[in-house]
Chain A
Amino acid sequence: MRRAAAVAVALALAASGLVADDGGQWPTFHYDAARRGHPPVRFKTCAFDEAWRFDLGGHTWRYEKGTSVWSASPAIAQVGGRTLLFIGAYDHNLYALDAATGEEVWRLTTGGRLNAPPAVARVGERTLVFIGSGDRTFYAADAATGEKLWSHETLPWSYTTGVSAPTAPVVVDIGGRTLVAVGFWNTDRRALRTIQRSDVFAFDAATGEVVWRRKLADTPITSPAMMPVDGRPLLFIGAEDGRLMALRATDGALQWTFTSDHAITAAPMAAALKGQPAVFVGNRWGMLNCVSAKTGALLWSSKTGHEIKSTAAIAPVEGRMKLYVGSMDRYLHCIDASTSRSLWRFQTGKFVVSSPVVCEVAGKPAVIFSSLDNRLYMRDALSGQKIWQFETGDMLWPYETRGSSLWSSPAVAEVDGEPQIFFGSYDGNLYCFKAVPRCFAEGQDLGPRPGATPAREEGSRSRPLVFLPPILGLGMIVAGFAVMLTSRGRSSDAGAGDDRC
């Protein structure tokens, strides 16, 4: 009994260490293993200049459903005395860039497109970067050199295998052993014995040995979030069949299942709410559900106007835990995490499918997110007021299938002690922004970039002439009814000989 308790405490300490302060780095999707999107990064001022951009070359391969330009989010870590940024792209390459200058350090070419974000972790003496590729293979590479250390093909190739959809990896230290857990959605359309399955793999991060593997669903699954619950590290994974599942990270045993009201396509986020562990996950029906991490019981739900493909960020703002989540109803929603009450929402021009980041800007909490209206936004986390925004260019492809995965989420990290914003846009550029020593007044920003779509100014629709059309329309309708009602008596007097319509 005492030994079991000691193991539980050790596991809790080990796992909780993974969600602790990473010193301004961004090692995995949405900052930490719990996907909370709230790094301890503080920008001193609220104005930003573009520090560099990395261009994919504008070369468009081809667009198909599920394609995104960049990984859903970059990973940023200190490697060999400098800060490197790792991001995958649809051109099959995992890029390592110098985060200070944007120069390419190395690239690793895989056999498929890289939509899933990478993760970086220290394993023994080396820093490794992990990423799943559309070629059904999971790769581990030396973060300093790009040398491939090991890889694992999750489904052998055949003429009928389809494109794979891997998730973001999550790194878990258990009893001194580092595991990296990742999900893969694989399909094979071979006759009679089709394969369509999502598996979760836990690899030994050092050797690539499969520690455990579990079939989870017949549909695609989301990236896992990890949080210790009662001393045991649990993985929380959503599936397109609507289930949110909790797995024990040590052996993959299923702990509980919560069935949502629609497909879950966004990664869940885990956090403690008034001391109780909870999981927050949005779904395709626009419902943000808060579920007990211990039992899987629904605690509350809040409806947005359209599909949620965004992982919520959570942060304490003025003493209350607040959630920030994007929706395809075009709004960024701020929701009280305890009561599910909507506090404010901000309308953008198009779908908000990115996962927001909350950090401190000029002494105040701010939320950074992108919308598919080609803008990167920074709003006051308390009131939703504008702080700064940036316009990127149009997407590389002439059109997208709505709801398909063209998203990319911003990341923030410190480079040489200086906080920076990184954003891989679907215009083919990866942008880096630095805070500059000036602040803009409300309503000002850096202005559109060359070649960008002109911004639609807020309030530009309040011109007086804008009410002319409805007055005209209502007038015509009233006139139409007047003709109908006033002519009835006269027409019936005219007799049945009229040419009726």
Chain B
Amino acid sequence: MELYMPLWKIVKRPLIPIRESWQDAVPLVGLFVLLSLAVWGALRLRGRAQQRLRRGVQVASALLFIIFLHRCLCALRGWVFGLELMGRNNLIAFGHMAIFVEIMAFTIGFGRVYCGWLCPLGAANEALGGVVRLRDGLSRRRSLLAGYLLLGGLTVLIVWMAWMVRPDTRFFSENIAAVWGILLLVLLVFALPRAEDDLRIKRIKYASAIGWMGLSVIGVFVTNPWCVLMGDELDYSSLVSIMAVLAGGAVVTMAWCRYLCPLGAAVGLLALLSPVRIVNEAQCTDCGRCQGLCPMNAIDRTEIDQTSCIYCGKCLGVCEYTWETRLIGDEEVAAG
């Protein structure tokens, strides 16, 4: 059985080469423009207009980084590689680090807008939430039965596919992304019936980020689930992991983003520094209007988990959720 992957990139040359190298300024500029648009939309728009713009930015981001540009959005691993190369190969170090630094800078300023507005994998995961919503309204028992059947079926298919096309690589050291994908499916077995413990289960993402970066530091080549899409690479490890990630998204909304995404964990921690965040100072009356609103399940009554909030804005206008701008250590500066 042969692997088949479409090779679809349109632009196959750097459009604005940096120092005549393959390092292209266009992905950096494109990312900056889209992130700026996302920040403006998140802060200024409300309701349907905001969600329409968000969909537009997500589609534009997917088109730009999956179809149009040859450059991949390699962020977390690139950052580790870049640090290793600094002072030894600055040009390549810059290439590895630039995307990550840009995402980090926006996260520190405006929270996880990248995750909620740009990440193509996050957008796909969120769209798969439609399958999860089919279980809304079912009794707990039937919902779990359907969830486990779906999870089991998808897991069997993925493991079968992974086995059929397996390369002669060392499974752990050379296919870390696939290992992470399988970990996600295993984690969902335990997370599925424990929706009430979601906040605690989500802390596992920090272990994921530490492990991911630690492996990169010791020299293990850690691919990402999106390498197949954005890197346009016929990569076994990435292929298995992206299938697991999408399968997980059909069982628990944005499961990868919630529980295991190492980049999400890293930007989640940095988002704690962001002065711009969503707050709700209302008294909870258990009206249930916020239930199921947040795709990341970041809302716990009136509390919002800032490390999980992806600034999608779906909760704005519901209850008393609103933006607050607060500089670190200061009293409230502005709210609106």
- Measured CB to CB, the residues of A under 8 A from B are 64-65, 162, 187, 189, 194, 196, 218-220, 240-243, 257, 259-263, 283, 285-287, 301, 303-307, 329-330, 347-350, 372-374, 399-403, 453, 456, 461, 466, 469-470, 472-481, 483-485, 487-488, 491-492, 494, 498-501
Contact = CB atoms under 8 A, between A and B. Distances in A.
A305 B70 contact: no
Contacts of A301: 12
26 contacts: A65-B219, A162-B88, A196-B90, A259-B20, A285-B232, A304-B234, A305-B233, A306-B233, A329-B233, A348-B168, A350-B168, A372-B168, A400-B174, A470-B156, A472-B153, A477-B153, A477-B154, A479-B153, A480-B145, A480-B146, A480-B148, A498-B140, A499-B140, A500-B138, A500-B139, A501-B195
Given A469-B159, A470-B160, A476-B152, A259 B21 contact: yes
A347 B236 CA distance: 13
Given A473-B152, A480-B150, 19 more contacts: A162-B88, A194-B90, A196-B87, A219-B21, A241-B22, A257-B20, A259-B22, A260-B13, A261-B14, A261-B22, A285-B12, A330-B234, A400-B173, A476-B149, A477-B154, A483-B142, A484-B146, A501-B143, A501-B144
Contacts of B148: 480
B283 interface: no
Nearest to B8: A303
Interface string B128-144: 00000011111110111
B91 interface: yes
B175 to A, nearest CB: 9
A403 B221 contact: yes
Given A219-B92, A473-B160, A483 B153 contact: no
Contacts of B214: none
B37 interface: no
Q: Sorted from nearest, which 3 A-B pairs have the closest CB atoms?
A: A305-B234, A242-B22, A476-B153
A484 to B, nearest CB: 4
B164 A456 contact: no
A488 B146 CA distance: 12
Interface residues of B, number: 61
Given A189-B87, A469-B160, A261 B233 contact: no
A480 B70 contact: no
B1 interface: yes
B153 A475 contact: yes
Contact of B137 (A263, A402, A403, A491): A491
Nearest to B21: A241
A401 B22 contact: no
Contact of B91 (A241, A469, A485): A241
- Chain B CB within 10 A, most for which of A240, A483, A491, A494: A483
A399 B159 contact: no
Contact of B235 (A220, A262, A306): A306
B4 to A, nearest CB: 9
B89 interface: yes
A456 B12 CA distance: 36
A344 B12 CA distance: 23
B23 interface: yes
Given A285-B70, A476-B150, A347 B90 contact: no
Q: Which of A260, A350, A475, A484 has the most CB of B within 10 A?
A: A484
Contacts of B2: 347
A241 B19 contact: yes
A216 to B, nearest CB: 12
A125 B265 CA distance: 67
Contacts of B233: 286, 305-307, 329
B157 A469 contact: yes
A401 B221 contact: yes
B22 A483 contact: no
Contacts of A478: 153
B274 to A, nearest CB: 32
B148 to A, nearest CB: 8
B285 to A, nearest CB: 16
Contacts of B19: 218, 241
Contacts of B189: none
B7 interface: yes
A243 B21 contact: yes
A330 B154 contact: no
B5 interface: yes
B7 A305 contact: yes
Contacts of A477: 149-150, 153-154, 157
B56 interface: no
A71 to B, nearest CB: 22
Contacts of A285: 12, 70, 232
B30 interface: no
Nearest to B233: A306
Contacts of B5: 305
B48 interface: no
Contact of A241 (B87, B88, B92, B150): B92
A479 B150 CA distance: 8
Interface string B73-94: 0000000000000011111100
Contacts of A500: 136-140, 143
A241 B156 contact: no
A401 to B, nearest CB: 4
B109 interface: no
Contacts of A484: 134-135, 138, 146
Contacts of A220: 89
Contacts of A499: 139-140
Contact of A474 (B90, B147, B157): B157
Nearest to A483: B146
Contacts of B20: 241, 243, 257, 259
A473 B155 CA distance: 8
B211 interface: no
B149 A479 contact: yes
Contacts of B14: 242, 259, 261
A144 B178 CA distance: 52
Most buried by B among A347, A400, A477, A494: A477
Interface-central residue, A194, A330, A499, by most chain B CB under 10 Å? A330
Contacts of A372: 168
Interface in B141-195: 142-150, 152-157, 159-160, 164, 167-170, 173-174, 193, 195
A501 B22 contact: no
Contact of A488 (B138, B155, B164, B220): B138
B157 A218 contact: no
A94 B223 CA distance: 36
The CB with the most chain A CB atoms within 10 A, among B19, B87, B195, is that of B87
A274 B157 CA distance: 49
B204 to A, nearest CB: 20
Interface in B1-38: 1-3, 5, 7, 12-14, 17, 19-23
B239 to A, nearest CB: 11
Given A219-B89, A469-B157, A487 B139 contact: yes
Contacts of B1: 461
A473 B157 contact: yes
A374 B168 contact: yes
Nearest to A64: B219
